[in-house]
Chains A and B, each alone.
Chain A
Amino acid sequence: MPVAVETNEKFATYAHPERLVSTQWLAQTLASGAGKDGSLVVVESDEDVLLYETGHIPGAVKIDWHIDLNDDVTRDYIDGAAFALLAAAKGISRDTTVVVYGDNSNWWAAYALWVFTLFGHEDVRLLDGGREKWAAEGRELTTEATAITPASEYPVVERNDAPIRAYKDDVLAHLGKPLIDVRSTEEYTGERTHMASYPQEGTLRGGHIPTAASIPWGRAADSDGTYRSREELEALYLGEAGLKAGDDVVAYCRIGERSSHTWFALKYLLGFENVRNYDGSWTEWGNSVRVPIAKGIERGDVPSIN
């Protein structure tokens, strides 16, 4: 049984307020015992693989993007059978309300949420502000191991990539329609091929997909890690990036994680129906043979593809 959605003034302005919960709501809902009967499972998903172990929201389970969600052989996500095993082991049934939170303004949490969505898990929400906000408010974090009651069953669902995931060929076919590049300006212009202070992930060329607008992902988040107001998001994506209602949009970054955060904002907060995350992102595009790129701060023109 899904848990009732939160209503508050800020969320009400968004297109899909049911996709967010506040720290206060989560604390109250947990206190009311919703986490005890399997109706609500809180998932922590972090960049740092050990951060959960240093203290997590009481009752939360951990899902690691590298270890749990990526297939370790192909460059792909796990399949339906593996996802069913993972979900059930974490106490998640098909009708469980899943609330995901994490470090770095929910960057990896949004990625986990996006992967849950590939499998059509219906009720998956993001904790607005993530781990930092929860901690900053002095709410409880515990190192006590979560006693998980595995779900009796999670169905094997075939991943449905098409609505929210773009492959390279999809992006080539998409050229001419809006693209949002969520990497840093230095990565967009081609000055760098990875974020400052982050590991090089092996991209040969620097630049961006021609015509992509540059809106670094973090601009969608406020200083406390929560999403910016609808008005502010509209100024960013409709104003600055030039998106129009009804647009078919593709967001990308370097490996598809930062762009999940933007995908969430476009899809659920601003209500764009057709938003896809191109998870191959720059590590694929920037290395692909005969694929056009643009350099510098200008968006560039639609290339003619032979």
Chain B
Amino acid sequence: MTTSQALPQALAEIVNDFQELEERDRLTLLLEFSRSLPALPERLSNHPELLEQVVECQSPLFLTVEAEKSDHGDRMRLFFQAPREAPTTRGFASVLYEGLDGLSAEEILAVPDDMPELLGLTRAISPLRMRGMSAMLGRVKRKIANGVSPAA
């Protein structure tokens, strides 16, 4: 895939991991991702109003992005919340978290919108469900494009 060359390194590696697997094993990998999604820090879990819901996802998915100062400029920190009963949604969130957390705004904005399709899950998951992940990526990028405030 030529597009994956444009991906940030961590995300490109995840895409490769998915592409190297048979379709059935890709689902297993997504399930593993769903288990590793970190819980929200307390300051956010106690303040759900600080998160935005991505309504295009089938299951309730909330996210927010914060900026963190570093020696190399602002780093984007990503936070996701989805219920245990929604492993597919959690899996998508976890892929984005591991692939994009800590990058610069420019790096995240440069991720192609069709990146979720590179995971090769569309047939196994169904196009309708894949839309949820595209919507999640879209929301992260839109939040960043609109300007992200530093962590409170």
Contacts and interface: CB of A to CB of B under 8 A. Distances in A.
Interface of A: 47-51, 53-54, 66-67, 72, 103, 196-201
A50 B56 CA distance: 18
B126 interface: yes
Contacts of B129: 49, 66
B34 A50 contact: yes
B88 A197 contact: no
Contact of B55 (A53, A67, A197): A197
Interface of B: 27-28, 30-31, 34, 53, 55-60, 84-89, 91, 123-126, 128-129, 131-132, 135
Contacts of B86: 48, 51
A103 B58 CA distance: 13
25 contacts: A47-B58, A47-B59, A48-B58, A48-B89, A49-B126, A49-B129, A50-B27, A50-B30, A50-B31, A50-B87, A51-B85, A51-B88, A53-B27, A53-B31, A54-B84, A66-B129, A67-B124, A67-B126, A72-B123, A197-B53, A198-B56, A199-B57, A199-B58, A199-B131, A200-B56
B87 A53 contact: yes
Contacts of B55: 196-198
Nearest to A104: B85
Contacts of A201: 128
B59 A199 contact: no
Nearest to A54: B87
Contacts of B84: 54
Contacts of A49: 27, 88, 124-126, 129
Given A199-B58, A199-B135, A50 B88 contact: yes
Judged by DSSP, the binding face of A is: loop
A81 B87 CA distance: 32
A201 B85 CA distance: 23
Contact of A199 (B60, B123, B132): B132
B31 A54 contact: yes
A252 to B, nearest CB: 19
Interface centre among A53, A196, A201 (most CB of B within 10 A): A53
B126 A197 contact: no
Contacts of B85: 48, 51, 103
A197 B31 CA distance: 22
Contacts of A54: 31, 34, 84, 87
Contacts of B87: 48, 50-51, 53-54
Contacts of A50: 27, 30-31, 34, 87-88, 91
Given A50-B31, A54-B87, A199 B56 contact: yes
Contacts of A197: 53, 55, 57, 60
Contacts of A53: 27-28, 31, 87
Contacts of A51: 85-88
Contacts of B126: 49, 66-67
Contacts of A47: 58-59
A47 B88 CA distance: 10
A43 to B, nearest CB: 18
Interface centre among A49, A198, A201 (most CB of B within 10 A): A49
A66 B130 CA distance: 12
Contacts of B34: 50, 54
B60 to A, nearest CB: 6
B4 to A, nearest CB: 24
Nearest to B53: A197
Nearest to A65: B126
B40 to A, nearest CB: 19
Contacts of B123: 72
A71 to B, nearest CB: 13
A66 B128 contact: yes
Given A67-B124, A198-B58, A199-B57, 6 more contacts: A48-B87, A54-B87, A66-B129, A199-B128, A199-B132, A200-B56
Contacts of A198: 55-56, 58
Interface centre among A47, A50, A72 (most CB of B within 10 A): A50
